[in-house]
Amino acid sequence: MMRIGIETIDGSDSGRDPCRRQDCWGHTSDWRHRVRTLQNSGMAAVDRAQKPSFTKSLFLGQVASELVMPYPLQRGEDKANTDRLAGLARDYLTTTYDPVKAEADRWVGDDTIRDLGELGLLGLFVDKKYGGQGLSQSGYCRIMEEFGRADGTLSVVMGVHQSIGTKPLFLYGTDEQKERWLPDLAAGRKLAAFVLTEPNVGSDAYNLETWAERQSDGSWILNGQKRWIGNGDRDVLTVFARSDLGHVAFIVEGGSEGLETGPRFDTVGLRANRLQRIRFNNVRVPAENLLGEPGDGFRIAMNTLNNGRMSMGTSIAGGMKTFLRQSIEHTSTRRQFDRELIDFEMVEDKIAWMQTQIYGIESMSYLTTGLVDGGQADFALESAMTKVLASDTGWYALNRAFQLHGGTAFMSEHPLSRALRDFRIFPIFEGANDVMRAFTALNGIKALSEHLPDVKSISIGDPAKAIGVLAPYVRERVGMRLRPDRLEGAHASLSKQVGQIAEQTARLRSSAEAALRKYGSKVQEKQLVQKRLADAAAGIYSQVAAVSRISAVIDRDGAIASEPERALAINFCNSQARVVGRAFRSLEINDDKHTHQIGRAARSAGGYTFDL
């Protein structure tokens, strides 16, 4: 059972005794406070209070069209600069970079880092005054897509350096800190790392064991261990720890006295990524290396990861495009039974599925980056859902491409064999998918709980009071069934899809409310319910992204020119509608009772005991 301390609810733990940390679901009268425990995986509390969330509105049965319509197509200088850099990246990655050599050497190569820095590809979102390109979040993620096309390992190295390694400094650094480190990071003269995970701390990042003690001169003494740190033996380490003043974030420079790294981990995939152990033995960190204020560390870490998940979505989309291209090339040239493989329906089905899913993941990813660039919305849940859907779908796409290539892909030197080793990590890191599903569902349920009356105030012994409390909500639910909220601004030719989204949104509200009223505070233990609600919400959001995108394309290019893309968008929406329908049905008809029974029996027996 995943449990996160109630102290995390306001984005700060300053001044709190870590030994007094409660189980977040126990010993408090208002369970709604408990659901807030996962909220810090997104924006700061003050930011959430000021900015609306599209997905939270879905849990209320509402479609906040103004947040997602029209689709945020890139335009102007940002698009021109993005296209230029994407061209430079693709040219270099297809003519110079060798992923096979990188895997054999177990490092992407310092020459590659130097070259990418000279091309301007290592400081994509960094302000131009610090030597970066100043791209929007959408522009940055578009370039990350090119890395994903070329090599999963290189995309991870680039993501670690930029998405999470440099990002905390970019978001929370002072002008002096930025001037000190960003130019070298943007130029590739130095590489950055994000130093969070510990031997005993993974998904429960609140409970860090690395400890920082503030000294009388304002400096800090850092002790502890970290593991699975990409670029951990390099130059600029963003390190997270706990202290008497709360969680803290530091910039620690490579080579600092008392800092030890290695030996590196020997991994199944991403073998060209230097994944390190790190030990801090009384490492002195100057006062000027503190990011933010004491107590800000956990918020900085979670908000950084929240930003980083978006580039994972586009990197995976890039990888899927490569899988599709390779599959078309192979099945168009390989002949069996006197026909090209691509002529067979079951082959064509896999090709069409990949094409459709790429469109959906791409639409979802860039709608989410558009929320960031717009600056008007809390994008925490959308970022989490994009990461989950992209990493799960990318893995399934790779499996289909692998199947289409047959035995040839099983040879270790084949590109899909390398991709198979690399891609398996994506559903695990930067927020394990199960944790992200719980995060999405519990935040949505919390938003709904704040919209409903306290069910404990309804007394069976006072039916008049019960009727008075429930009547407005009964009327509201009836009204939702008659007039479900619709996505405004979609093209008229997509009316069926818009209606589908409206009905699903109303059902999400109804299902979440049913779970809330049925289980009350125990809803936090119903992870299968959480999973189904999260999958439904992600499916609805992905359809909204596809409808929003194709509507913008039709407006730009006209109906006739856009027809092939419209067919693709409709196919994606239909496929996701089926996913959402299955999630809702499984909330009502399932084998959860048997699942729990069998799981407990297997746990008790320690394995399978039904011998013939």
- Contact call for residues 226 and 241 (beta carbons, < 8 A): no
- Contact call for residues 501 and 489 (beta carbons, < 8 A): no
260 tagged catalytic: no
Sign of CA dihedral 394, 397, 403, 408: negative
Residue 453 Ramachandran class (φ > 0 left, ψ -120 to 50 alpha, else beta): beta
Separation between Cα atoms, residue 581 and residue 138, nearest integer Å = 31
Q: Is the peptide bond before 263 cis (omega within 30 degrees of 0)?
A: yes
- DSSP one-letter string for 301-329: HHHHHHHHHHHHHHHHHHHHHHHHHHHHH
End-to-end Cα separation, the chain, in angstroms: 34
By CB neighbour count within 10 A (0-12 exposed, 13-18 middle, 19+ buried), where does 477 fall? middle
Give Cβ neighbours of residue 134 (< 8 Å, ≥ 6 apart): 81, 125, 126, 127, 128
Exposure of 514 in the CB half-sphere (CA atoms within 13 A): 12
Written as one letter, the residue type at 393 is: T
Q: What are residue 284's DSSP bridge partners?
A: 221
Degrees to nearest 5, angle at CA 530 with 524 and 534: 140
- Contact call for residues 147 and 92 (beta carbons, < 8 A): no
Q: Distance of CA 298 to CAs 29, 39, 160, 325, 571, Å?
A: 26, 12, 18, 41, 41
Integer-rounded Cα Rg, in Å, for the chain is 25
Which residue is catalytic, options 103, 145, 430, 513? Answer: 430
Please state whether beta strands 236-241 and 192-195 pair in parallel, antiparallel, or not at all (unpaired).
parallel
Return the active site residues.
Answer: 430
